[in-house]
Chain A
Amino acid sequence: MITALAATLPAAHPATGAAESALVRRVLIGVALAFLAVFLFVPLAFVFFEALKKGWDVYVAAIIEPDAVSAILLTLLVAAIAVPANLVFGVAAAWSIARFSFPGKSVLTTLIDLPFSVSPVISGLIYVLVFGLQGWFGPWLREHDLKVIFAVPGIVLATMFVTFPFVARELIPLMQTQGNEQEEAATVLGAGGWQMFWRVTLPNIKWGLLYGVILCNARAMGEFGAVSVVSGHIRGATNTLPLHVEILYNEYQFAAAFAVASLLALLALVTLALKYVVERRARAAAIPTGESAR
């Protein structure tokens, strides 16, 4: 018994027994990287390769062409409305849920996550059912010569729906971990509501807030399915960048399609870089960011 134990002791050292052999380690790293190469690195490289295959001039021409420019502007406009709207909502939702207790709180938290589990196509469909010609407000909108579906307002609404939870789901867990003490202290010391918000709450949540905004913005600019349903694909009018990519691709203008797509891929890379920086800052400030998954 004692000899058996003594024999296993050297093997129990963390450097040997509780870890894999160098060979197993290398094989596992190799398989993991091969998987990521096929599904991540190669597709990423492929977008830029195809975009620049026919040369820099073709690339630039595809991006400064009027339809592409109007798609860029529309995408920026939609994000400029949807992101601030969901930012304000996220702060309000996090304030009510993390700072107060009330009946139905967990139901409310689940409902806020709801848009993430709805298919993008359905996110567009429901707005067609409300504002489309055959929809609830369709006849009224037509009488007043207003258009929501196949127009910019529909694109904005569908984008607001799909990016709805981003800021809220980042802030709720963050503010719950931080607790009420600092804000209560500020209030007891005589700070007004807005004074407390700008001086205490906002500085405490700024990294989590930024994190949520970055993810929200990436999705707002890149949304395809929901926007595709409500847009009508009118060139130069209701075409966002992802929809423009689709049109070019379906017209076999592959170099142009990948050139425009490379802008969106760059946006994704910038998003990841910002996300990485914010995560590090948040950790340095000892403020845990919420769930990063999803």
Chain B
Amino acid sequence: MNASSAGAVFDGAADGGGDRDVRIARTFAADGARILRADAAARHRRRVLPGFGLSLGFTLFYLGLIVLVPLSAAFIKAATMTWPAFVDAISAPRVVASYRLTFGASLGAAMINAAFGLLVAWVLVRYRFPGKRLVDALVDFPFALPTAVAGIALAGLFAPNGWMGQLLVPLGVKVAYTPLGVLVALTFIGLPFVVRTVQPVLEGLPRELEEAATTLGATRLQVFLRVILPVALPALLTGFALAFARAVGEYGSVIFIAGNMPMVSEITPLIIITKLEQYDYAGATAVAVVMLVVSFLLLLAINALQAWTRKRQGGLA
């Protein structure tokens, strides 16, 4: 409720009355509006709700203190390096090998999660089976489990004498202490992303669309590929990008299972830690800046994908 709408109500009430009534009503309206306006102006400077300055001020202060100033330190530190030194630090063979592993394994894990995440979301939305609610709740377990715990559990499971490792040894597959171990750890921590982004889209999918397609003669597979998949695609890509972004920066769950052999199974975050332990702050920061730039680009891509998902969803509703 604001001053001008109050005036409009009075004006509306006056319609159809006599001239005098109109004049009286107008006077009331003008007075009412003036009082409301003065009142509002005195208390809130045209904003009805209080606390704008305080809340925004505190938000910006805290954001600056905890996030922006420390983050800028990385870029300022990198800027003090000479260009050749910076390039050397980020393109040393050992560092490049770590990019290959980090981005390759993250991509692989995100792809596994896209495929199985879509399947899990589908099964949870469409089918009924015993223990379904428990399974649904446990999908978020990798979010809630501290990464170090995930790390030692996966390392123990996939070690040659572990529950899973034992099964894989006869097949000649080594997971723990190899790049494959990195893939397993990154698949674990990325698992909830695709399920949780695709699930609400599948829940909102109107059954009529599928029924119409079936009535028109489409097979179940055609319905899936031509009707369901296109609707779920933006959410699927969003989940994929979220899982990928999370995997790229992941540290705790990976280092226990990776074996951390230079050039073979050493991830980029570990390179940063190693450089820090050798007091090579500039080198650590240079590699960190590369990772930060990639992360920011991924964040922008994810925002764009989420906007696309919302638009698609809006079109369906």
- Residues facing A in B179-202 (CB within 8 A) are 187-188, 191-193, 196-197
Query: Does A76 belong to the interface (CB within 8 Å)?
Result: no
Main SS class of interface, B: helix
Query: Does A69 belong to the interface (CB within 8 Å)?
Result: no
Given known pairs A18-B210, A39-B188, the reply for A120 and B251 (CB within 8 Å) is yes
Please give, as numbers and ranges, the residues of chain B lying within 8 Å of A88 by CB-CB distance: 58
Q: Could you pull out 20 A-B pairs where Cβ atoms are within 8 angstroms?
A: A18-B223, A20-B220, A32-B120, A40-B139, A43-B157, A43-B188, A44-B141, A111-B67, A117-B295, A119-B269, A125-B288, A126-B74, A129-B77, A157-B66, A184-B48, A228-B273, A264-B149, A292-B196, A294-B193, A294-B242
Binding site for B on A (CB under 8 A): 8-9, 11-12, 14, 17-20, 24-25, 28-29, 31-33, 35-36, 38-44, 46-47, 50, 85, 88-89, 91-93, 95-97, 99-100, 102, 108, 110-115, 117-122, 125-130, 132, 134-136, 157, 160-161, 164, 180, 183-185, 187-188, 192-193, 196-197, 215, 218, 221-225, 228-229, 241-243, 245-246, 249, 254, 257-258, 261, 264-265, 267-269, 271-273, 275-276, 292-294
Please give, as numbers and ranges, the residues of chain A lying within 8 Å of B71 by CB-CB distance: 114, 118, 126
Given known pairs A115-B67, A119-B249, A224-B251, the reply for A249 and B52 (CB within 8 Å) is no
Please give, as numbers and ranges, the residues of chain A lying within 8 Å of B234 by CB-CB distance: none
Other than the known A18-B223, A42-B157, A245-B152, what 12 A-B pairs have Cβ atoms closer than 8 Å? A39-B191, A47-B153, A92-B62, A108-B60, A118-B292, A119-B251, A121-B251, A135-B73, A242-B148, A249-B152, A265-B149, A275-B137
A36 to B183, CA, bound (A): 16
Binding site for A on B (CB under 8 A): 1, 44, 47-52, 54-56, 58-60, 62-63, 66-71, 73-74, 77, 116, 119-120, 122-123, 126-127, 129, 135, 137-150, 152-154, 156-157, 163-164, 187-188, 191-193, 196-197, 207, 210-211, 214-215, 217, 220, 223, 239, 242, 245, 248-252, 256, 269-270, 272-273, 276, 279, 281, 284-285, 288, 291-292, 295-296, 298-299, 302-303
A259 to B55, CA, bound (A): 43
Could you tell me if B149 and A242 are in contact, using CB atoms closer than 8 angstroms?
yes
Closest to B132 in A: A29
Please give, as numbers and ranges, the residues of chain A lying within 8 Å of B74 by CB-CB distance: 122, 125-126, 129
Min CB–CB distance B187 → chain A (angstroms): 6
